[in-house]
Structure 1
């Protein structure tokens, strides 16, 4: 019976307030989970591919989050009245997060990703496809940012400041990582024992994530087919 008197708490990481009678509000509640979904994507890709470019982007994303944490505690601006008591609202962390991600992805796809010439077993993403993916990422960021005002978690000003902060962070981080690449510091880092121990590589700038594995699979499949055909011809 003693357990019945315990006051329970809510895990605010995924706790989203919305109007159950409004389908748009329900959609916006799902959009609020996009940053968490992107974090899962980051960790999954880093672990499965060991790509330094993805690791660098995630590091920049976390630095952007740290900046948001500091800005909120410096500015100390309240959220709209409906959400008072839910922490500071300036700037919007959701808007800042998706702005950083979408712009970083756009810069990578359009300026850093230089795919190799197509091989018989692989056709890299065309420039048109990369522009299309960038557009989808930016559209998603716009929807997430808009949803924060629709759900009354932030004022338009708080959202716009979040977008600006995320955009400036993305541009700054892209320039920093460009310098790191051009000065050879990244190559030096990739040659160190801990980096090689975890098999960190730098291939995604010139090929798609699935390319090397696919070509290995195709070579194995063709080799097995030839071996089988050779046995049948005897």
Structure 2
């Protein structure tokens, strides 16, 4: 059994007076490096909540999330997010008054992970994702949506982490760009041994994943 990222007896609910609305109830799963996972579900199914818990941005009601054999609470949620998780958002969440180059350097400045020759790493990552040096030094707002999402993926990789979490990363993109982004996630999993977990409502995105996890009313179906 993989000791990379495991959820055990995960429970999450909202309390409304005397009633509870369960998003998850007794959810268990093991995520492995080298695989591309799609968490598929309609709005309200809990896929974004699950991603928030896996990233340490939200906390489950009960149960445990283990990373490399240790609970993320024991690691410390701030430390876990800073040093072990790369996040990609639907709205990119880039700093708009900075260039792609500067956005990645900011991310690198926060992590405790050791990164040598940061400038070279930034340009190489951006180039790997199709962002030329010229575009790397423009304001991110001067780039297309697809280019901004590639910058966001590069930023998630810049801190030298093995876990990439993406929340509806293709929701604002056209079909052609969506395919390119999905191919990138697949490459990161297969060629670079990352664990890539994407929350999506798109069957087109999900069909490219190694594993599809269907969420419905807090339940998991593979």
State the TM-score, normalized to the length of structure 2: 0.23
- When normalised by structure 1's length, the TM-score is 0.22
More helix by share: 1
Kindly name which structure, 1 or 2, has the bigger radius of gyration based on alpha carbons: 1
